[in-house]
Structure 1
Amino acid sequence: MASSNGEAEQQWIDNVKSGGAVPCLTPENCPNGWATPSGDSFMVRGPEYLTNKVKIPGGEYLLKPLGFDWIKGPAKICEILKDDNHRVRKAIDEEVSRGNQPFVWAFNLQLPKDNYSAIFYFVSLEAIPEGSLMDQFLKGDDAFRNSRLKLIANIAKGPWIVRTAVGEQAICILGRALSCKYTQGSNFIEVDVDIGSSIVAKAIVHLAFGYITTLTVDLAFLIESQTESELPERLLGAGRFSELNPGSAGLFEKRSEEHQESTQSRPVGFWQGFSHLLNNQGNPREPSPTLQNTNGSLHKEEANENSKW
């Protein structure tokens, strides 16, 4: 019986993985697709980071990869898991109707270009430990979430102009850098990340979008550990998208206008260092600043890391 349950459990996950507009492939070969990179390709705070600043490979993920959506709509896509007709929401509801209690985490990267969204989904099939960072994040307010949700971005493959701009491994506390909206239900949490909430970020994405068919990008999501008892850091999950074709994006129609909510812009230090890059597009040999030249919204850890790039 346990084997049968395990097979059914894996089947619905496999169905969601394969249900998006672009295929789920191997990390080594995923053109116009998505995959799950090794957690060890990301460096996180080690058990004694607060004293020695030593980082360690990310290791195993806390969540299972569930799916990826490469979609566009007539307006900015948000609160997608509130749509009962969306494929991932339908899969969640079907599992709940079978007596299971999956909990899905969705990270929706809203691109400021023709209303494209790149959405990574991860799932926990077991109860989240009481008092854990994940538990605190789910029960916390937006201020707590904004101060803790961290993104690690690696450009695994891409043109010089993009790799130089982002650096070898860029780290950002999302809520400090970009406008984030959190939508939570009984079996999911969705984070809508408005990359266009900064004028500079918007300009950079428009620039990078011209190279999207040549880019391979790895993104890891985690909740930052800030005290000794919270260390070492653990990755929630990570995803890779590679050489995406804008024309392959699925079309998403919102249920109603109620989801078309405006978001407030806020300063985005994560992107500020790229402004010089935009001003020097005509001189590709001139080095662009790395992220340590931002306005200071990256905390000391990231500044020290970037100085090594």
Structure 2
Amino acid sequence: MSPTTEKPAETATEAAGGGGGQGALPAEPVGAAQDPCYDWRRDAIEGGSLRHVDLHTGTNGWASPPGDLFHLRGPNYFSRRQKCPSGEWILWPAGVDWLRSTSRLDNVLGRPDNRVAGALRRARALGVARKAFIFAVNLQVPGRECHSAVFYFATEEPIPSCSLFYRFVHGDDAFRNARFKIVNRIVKGPWIVRAAVGNHAACLLGKALTCKYLHGEDYLEIDVDIGSSALANAILHLALGCVTAVTIDMGFLVEAQAEEELPERLLGAVRVAQMEMSSATYVETKPKAAEAGKGGFRGLAKVNHHQDSSSTSKPSRSGDGKERNEGFLCCKGSHCEKESLNSE
């Protein structure tokens, strides 16, 4: 499941001697639509505005940490409170975009110029990747200039109908809010960031922050508005002030709240290594891009605020007061938990 390390295909931007471009997402590969051996997965991984780097030595880029670095709820969690290494991801990494714009970027996969959606369209035009599914998390950072860190994951296999991820994709947004979890690990960083962000901590993002879910037949995008929590916004901007000294692992998963849903497994994980704010690619904000029908994906959007306590899921077994503590981008409330490293 680890990403390829092959040399990426030349892109239109690189062919012209450029590196990024104003007003649009990174350009598509030259001649991809005519190449019968076109590998859309490689282009998705290597073509992002944040470059793919070595897991151990890379800087100002992203990599894919192994799932075993994350300790999640094991098969005996509800009886023994034990956690164990996650193991292999459910979805493979499909790239990272670090974007900036004059206003908040919503529905990134719905943009006509979205490179990951475009790569999948080109693959399907060649008769491949017919069953591919893309999962994207768009962390929206407010400020004088807005930023978005967009993490893409994908699979080319049908999602098993009996799986928790299938229920997450096809369920309602109350279920998603109650289950969508992020787990973080501070790999490298100053003590002030470790203290503020938390290490080996988990958070139910749908309860801590305002999330917008955009979904269609072959994708699900979650737009996470960090500005919806004053505390989360303050913590993030503190971390961004030291961002060139910080390396962080982030894992995304659907929280298990019943015995039959155990053990937990990562949907996907990403390591962001000593990123530079200035490396963000500028894109124009086009509020109507998703409705243009000229590219990207078209889907349904729903906004869910973390203040909403309604849920159609089963009675929560997300954890008791002893387990709950603090987490990444959270308000240190009941939706956050400190991850135990017990892997017995």
TM-score class, shorter: 0.7 to 0.9
Query: Quick one: distance in 2 between partners of 1:172 and 1:159?
Result: 21
1:10-49 map, 5 Å = 11-49=39-77
Match of 1:244 in 2: 275
- TM-score of the aligned structures, taking structure 1 as reference length: 0.82
Check 1:13–1:243 CA distance in 2 against 1; reply closer, same or farther (3 A cut).
same
Match of 1:119 in 2: 150
Listed one character per residue, the Cα deviations across residues 16-55 of structure 1 (whole Å, up to 9, x for unaligned) are 1111122101210120010001111111111111111100
Listed one character per residue, the Cα deviations across residues 37-85 of structure 1 (whole Å, up to 9, x for unaligned) are 1111111111111111100001100001110001111111110111122
Q: Which moved more, 1:84-93 or 1:217-226?
A: 84-93
Match of 1:282 in 2: none
Letter in 2 for 1:298: H
1:230-309 map, 5 Å = 230-256=261-287, 266=306, 291=326, 296-298=333-335, 302=337, 305=340
Q: Secondary structure at the residue paired with 1:291? A: coil
Listed one character per residue, the Cα deviations across residues 83-133 of structure 1 (whole Å, up to 9, x for unaligned) are 122111111222232332210000111112321111110001100011211
Post-superposition offset of 1:168: 2.2
Query: Quick one: distance in 2 between partners of 1:294 and 1:165?
Result: 11
Q: Secondary structure at the residue paired with 2:42? A: helix
Match of 1:61 in 2: 89
Which of the numbers 120, 145, 149 marks the counterpart of 1:92?
Answer: 120
Match of 2:184 in 1: 153
Q: Secondary structure at the residue paired with 2:136? A: strand
- Is residue 2:249 matched to residue 1:218? yes
Check 1:115–1:228 CA distance in 2 against 1; reply closer, same or farther (3 A cut).
same
Listed one character per residue, the Cα deviations across residues 212-271 of structure 1 (whole Å, up to 9, x for unaligned) are 111101100001111111111111000011111111111122333577x99786569xxx
Check 1:39–1:164 CA distance in 2 against 1; reply closer, same or farther (3 A cut).
same
Query: Quick one: distance in 1 between partners of 2:285 and 2:125?
Result: 25
Matched positions, count = 276
Letter in 2 for 1:53: R
Q: Is the 8 A contact 1:173 1:298 kept in 2?
A: yes
Q: Secondary structure at the residue paired with 1:171? A: strand
Match of 1:102 in 2: 132
Letter in 1 for 2:47: G
Query: Quick one: distance in 2 between partners of 1:30 and 1:165?
Result: 24
Which of the numbers 171, 186, 192 marks the counterpart of 1:140?
Answer: 171
Letter in 1 for 2:249: D
Check 1:130–1:10 CA distance in 2 against 1; reply closer, same or farther (3 A cut).
farther
- TM-score of the aligned structures, taking structure 2 as reference length: 0.74
Query: Quick one: distance in 2 between partners of 1:248 and 1:11?
Result: 26
Q: Which moved more, 1:163-172 or 1:138-147?
A: 163-172
Query: Quick one: distance in 2 between partners of 1:79 and 1:89?
Result: 12
Q: Secondary structure at the residue paired with 1:172? A: strand
Listed one character per residue, the Cα deviations across residues 123-167 of structure 1 (whole Å, up to 9, x for unaligned) are 011000112111101110000000011100111111110011222
Check 1:188–1:105 CA distance in 2 against 1; reply closer, same or farther (3 A cut).
same
- Is residue 2:213 matched to residue 1:176? no
Query: Quick one: distance in 2 between partners of 1:119 and 1:69?
Result: 5
Larger proportion of helix? 1
Check 1:258–1:197 CA distance in 2 against 1; reply closer, same or farther (3 A cut).
farther
Q: Is the 8 A contact 2:132 2:156 kept in 1?
A: yes
Q: Is the 8 A contact 2:189 2:246 kept in 1?
A: yes
Post-superposition offset of 1:298: 2.5
Post-superposition offset of 1:296: 3.6
Letter in 2 for 1:22: L
Q: Which runs of 5+ in 1 are unaligned?
A: 1-6, 269-289
1:73-84 map, 5 Å = 73-84=101-112
